Structure 1
Amino acid sequence: MTTTETDALPVEALPVHVPLVTEPLGLMGSLAAARRNLLEILPDLAVRQPMVSGRTGIRWHMVMEPAAIRRMLLENIDNYPKSVTTKNLLKPAIGDSLFIAEGAHWRWQRRAAAPAFSHRNVSALGPVMGMAAQNSLDRVEAAGKRAVDYYEEMVRATFEVIGNVTFSEGAQFDPEQVHSAIDDYIAAAGKVSILDMLGVPGWVPRPGRLLSKRAVGEMKALADQSVEARKATGPGMPPDLLDLLLEGEDPETKRKMNTAELRDNLLTFIVAGHETTALTLSWALYLCAFDQGVQDRAREEAQAVLQGRVAEAKDLDSLPFIRMIVDETLRLYPPAGILSRTAREADELGGREIRPGDTVMIPIYALHRNRLLWDDPDAFRPERFKDRKEIERYAYLPFGDGPRICIGVSFAVQEAVIILATLLSKRRFSLLPGKAPKPVMILTLRPEGGVWLTSEPA
């Protein structure tokens, strides 16, 4: 099918997607759209051209050209730090953790944390992921044919994983309390302010971001206590993520994280480590229910490999089609739908002038649906990932790329394949008429209204 034919298909023949903007919104229109759903600020040109530029209070550029993205994320990375808006949104909650830090401060933290996410350590977490998958399957089977919100179910399943691998038994506080506090903070403070769009410096208070300051402060204090308590008692067996981070050090400087640095990174891992995977799994189940042929093929693979067992880390290479479903889900619904940077110095991207202070965005959602890069971009076709070498490197960025690629990529993919394979091997999922999810992005790309499906024994 050609792109033109795809464009001509009725909306119901394609998975849910966001209609992109065809007319300029202006400053106030852009602000209203950004506060409602960040994806609604994306122009339709972003899926048809390699680059789009404009001014909405501040100069901005949206980059969809792989060579220009490579320059931003690899060749000239120091010129494109996280945007001021991103830092203003997240720093009060997660401080100068890996997600926020820049330059030398980021580099040494990355080197210190990297061993905790080694292939060996991630593979060793497979049984924890398998247990969470089985517990989720038990809940799904107990629900019978009753409709279930699978976004909430996948949040529960992935939170079980991150809670168990982040804090072993005896932790001084409930990780769920941490997630709730940060979620409340994002709900109150995570929306773009007109001050952000006008380029007002970050030290000027954004009223909404003061609302959850107390709750976040209390949560950080509890996390600090937990870190100090673990330092006093020593690691458990086997060591959990906190133990591994306490042991981690920068191999070049031998520096270790202090309590505040450990706390900020743990809070980042707790929230990001389950939120993104929960989103991927809930969208994947929606897509499998949307295309029963894909679901049948995935179930056949899962049943042949698992033969009644829960999926394990060692099974991943034997579940290539389920991995393709995960990859295609991340293409259609990337958890981080937009990456935003602020240029430090003058540069050129895609033949266009970049000035210091310009906002330079990589709209991952639009990049993954750009008609210059993908055939049938709005269609659900897992087979496009059969040979990943055919996918242009900087055309597919669900986890970013370059030195700052997400440190937990292997963790997230392993968890998603284990849980998805376990559920599909036993249950058949179907859409609930009239309850299609709506892709809405504030900080992550969530299914507004939930992912309501029914299931029955396979």
Structure 2
Amino acid sequence: MNDLSPRTARVMPVRVPLVTRPLGLWGSLRKVRQNVLEIIPELATRQPMISGRTGARWHMVMDPQAIRRMLIEKLDDYPKSLVTKNLLRPAIGESLFIAEGAHWRWQRRAAAPVFSARNVLNLSPMMSHAADRAVSRIANAGPGAVNVADEMVTTTFEVISDVTFSGGEAFDRDGVHRAIDGYIAAAGKISLFDMLGMPDWVPRPGRVMSGGPLKEMKQVADRAIDDRKARGPAGIPDLLDLLLAGEDPETKRQMNTAELRDNLLTFIVAGHETTALTLAWSLYLCAFDQEVQNRARAEAHAVLKGRIADGADVENLPFIRKIVDEALRLYPPAALVSRTAQKPDVLGGRAVQKGDTVMIPIYALHRHKLLWDRPDSFVPDRWTDKPERFAYLPFGDGPRICIGASFALQEAVIILASLLSGFRFTPVPGKEPRPVMIITLRPEGGVWLNAEPV
């Protein structure tokens, strides 16, 4: 990493208060219901690995080489934990995000061409048009404070619905969005039974994972798939066209309607939520550091001249890309991932037993004092050099790296550049966001910023 000489002493961007004393089972349960990240010991930012027992044995791994072993060398020995699968399966079934082994591999092979560089580039005009609409909404709201977190959710949902359902019959965007929010709120209710490692067939009190909104969300996807099958593609293929045409190059197998629906919902749920969070945190950080914002705006004006012509412009916005990378480091949407060891193993010189929960606390990894200079500071210029591999995991790594990473980064850069080109963002006193993770790392209370046209 670069030698990052400190500026004048200043307040740091908001951060999660990590644990400095043992919490015990009940204390951990209380914390995890409020903010999953508050169970991470502060020690995790200074040690390569820590272990303990809270009902079940667990390990937190921050050593890049041990993480490499989990994500590449012993991938099948560390599948997603039962807790993770139980939380997500009701909405996205056995899609790419949850499936394991051969069922995951054939779906990945079939879906990989969907997110090729050419296909992602072809979708950039839809991203640019959504960015323009966001600029117009903020401008029409008049001077004053704007909750850019809500605005970014609206904008990225427009993108994902446009690139998924383009040319199809109208659908209830608000209804689908409400269903997603309700689902995430219900899914995030971590149970004491989860922490005790009880079997997944034991009911979790208070967690209702089905019902009207979720059923309606699936019906919308099924109708869209059936409609597209009947009428075929029109114009530039969108995500649904590409998924319908996709096949496993080895077996020639294609996804059936249920598999298409589960993966479509995965892209909708994950694709807009995570990018919206990245943009909200990026805008918060730009408002926090006006010097960074000024540099980014100058770059946007020089390249965009008021709007983005096409996705190729993203390559000419390197500083704005650095801001996005730094926001993903400080506030990774998937800030903690959990695996269940299938076999005895040794990670970082420490024994792992079959059935142990093995976590990668990405929030702590990205702020680790042995891996990053000034880890809690906002320093986009650190991205002039690449970090150590497996020290930076906003999209995971290895064979299961997020299939939509290039889509998300292109979208974030396009929208952020458009917003910074149109407005100067400044903080609203007394309205600092609080980083809270339920399933994703959200800014509790929103990100309230003043937006002044420039």
| TM-score with structure 2 setting the length | 0.96
From 356, 368, 371, give the equivalent of 1:373: 371
Aligned to 1:384: 382
* Matching residue's letter, 1:230: R
Matched residue SS, 1:237: coil
SS at match of 2:86: helix
Which stretches in structure 2 are left out of the alignment for 5+ residues?
none
Is 1:436 aligned to residue 413 of structure 2? no
Select between 64-73 and 137-146 the one with higher mean Cα deviation. Answer: 137-146
Q: Does the alignment pair 1:249 with 2:261?
A: no
Query: Among residues 361, 365, 389, which one is paired with 1:393 in the alignment?
Result: 389
Per-residue CA distance 1:260-318 (angstroms, 9 max, x = gap): 00000011101111111100001000000000010011111111111223363111121
Unaligned 5+ segments in structure 1 are none
Quote how far apart the aligned CAs of 1:429 are: 0.5
Matched AA of 1:329? A
| Contact 1:133-1:310 within 8 A present in 2 as well | no
- Report Cα offsets for 1:391-429 as digits up to 9, x if no partner: 101000000000000000110000000011111112110
How many Å separate the matches in 2 of 1:30 and 1:50?
Answer: 22
Alignment of 1:309 onto 2:307? yes
1:406 to 398, 402, 407: 402
Match of 1:426 in 2: 422
Contact 2:178 2:213 in 1 (8 A): no
- Length, aligned pairs only: 451
Question: Is 1:336–1:364's contact at 8 Å kept on the other side of the alignment?
Answer: yes
| CA contact 2:149–2:446 (8 Å) conserved in 1 | yes
Written as runs of structure 1 = structure 2, the 5 A alignment for 1:31-430 is: 31-171=29-169, 173-210=171-208, 212-310=210-308, 312-388=310-386, 391-430=387-426
- State the one-letter code of the partner of 1:424: L
Q: CA deviation at 1:146?
A: 1.3
Deviation (angstroms), 1:225:
2.7
CA contact (8 A) 1:175 1:270 kept: no
Partner secondary structure for residue 208 of structure 1 = coil
Identity across aligned pairs (percent)? 68
Aligned residue for 1:340, secondary structure, equals strand
Distance 2:112 2:125 in 1: 21
Matched, 1:23 2:21: yes
Counterpart CA distance in 1 for 2:89 and 2:268 is 16
Shift of 1:207: 2.6
**8 Å contact kept, 1:134–1:310:** no
Q: Aligned equivalents of 1:191 and 1:155: distance in 2? A: 22
Q: 1:362 to 1:311 in 2, by over 3 A?
A: farther
Q: Distance in 2 between matches of 1:253 and 1:212?
A: 34
Contact residue 311 and residue 421 of structure 1 kept, 8 A:
no
Quote the offset at 1:211 in angstroms.
Answer: 5.5
Distance 2:355 2:307 in 1: 54
1:293 and 1:299 map into 2 onto residues whose CA distance is 10
TM-score by length of 1: 0.95
Partner secondary structure for residue 200 of structure 1: coil
CA distance in 1, matches of 2:173, 2:426: 33
User: Do 2:168 and 2:224's aligned partners in 1 also have CA atoms closer than 8 Å?
Assistant: no
Deviation at 1:227, TM superposition (A): 1.5
Q: Give me the whole-angstrom Cα distance separating, in 2, the residues matched to 1:456 and 1:15.
A: 22
CA distance in 2, matches of 1:270, 1:217: 15
| In structure 2, C-alpha distance between the alignment counterparts of 1:208 and 1:429, rounded to whole Å | 40
Shift of 1:175: 4.6
Counterpart AA for 2:11: A
Point out the more displaced range, 370-379 or 172-181: 172-181
**Partners of 1:447 and 1:312 in 2: CA distance:** 31
- The separation in 2 between residues aligned to 1:306 and 1:254, in whole angstroms, is 42
Deviation of 1:230 after TM superposition, in Å, equals 1.8
Structure 1 distance, partners of 2:391, 2:326, is: 13
- Counterpart amino acid of residue 407 in structure 1: I
